[in-house]
Structure 1
Amino acid sequence: MPILWLVIVGAAAGFLATRLMRIEAGIVQTVLLGMAGALIGGLILRFILTVGSLVGGLVGAVLGAMLLIWLWQRMRGG
């Protein structure tokens, strides 16, 4: 169940992050960005703020995905 939840939250976070950052990405890229963002953002928020709620996890996932998108754009020169 935790893996399924990570995919669901990752898809939602990736979708929101790609829309907020105004980039076009495929479904697989969006989900992977969201999942990675969920891991990064979730760890950061839980560590700093000890946030355990679903809303906090989603916010952390979106912020993490946005950070990855920003880094990805900088690395490819966009």
Structure 2
Amino acid sequence: MTRFLLILIIGAIAGFLATRFMRVQTSVGVTVLIGMAGASIAWFVLRFVMLLTRSGFLLVGAVLGAMALIWLWKTFLNR
């Protein structure tokens, strides 16, 4: 349970960073949700391939996951 809370907190930070890197203007709630979803996706993917060995990888993976989610959102939902 503690790890999940860590993922959510890092996800919120990752959502903020990802929306800034991708130059997307969203509300605070959407930014946090994007980051948490990206962090969750990244955590599952990194955990699956056994690359998640240190907490530092979690933030990098969370930002990359959130950026991938923003790219998918912009590509397929904003037409």
Per the TM alignment, residue 49 of structure 1 is displaced from its structure 2 partner at its CA by 4.2
Runs ≥4 in structure 1, deviation > 6 angstroms? none
Cα RMSD, aligned residues only: 1.5
Structure 1 unmatched runs, 5+: none
Aligned residues: 77
Q: Which residue of 2 aligns with 1:19?
A: 20
Structure 2 unmatched runs, 5+: none
Identity fraction in percent: 51
Tell me the alpha carbon deviations over residues 14-68 of structure 1, each in whole angstroms, 9 at most, x when there is no partner: 0110011111111100110010000101111222242221111111111111111
TM-score (norm 2): 0.84
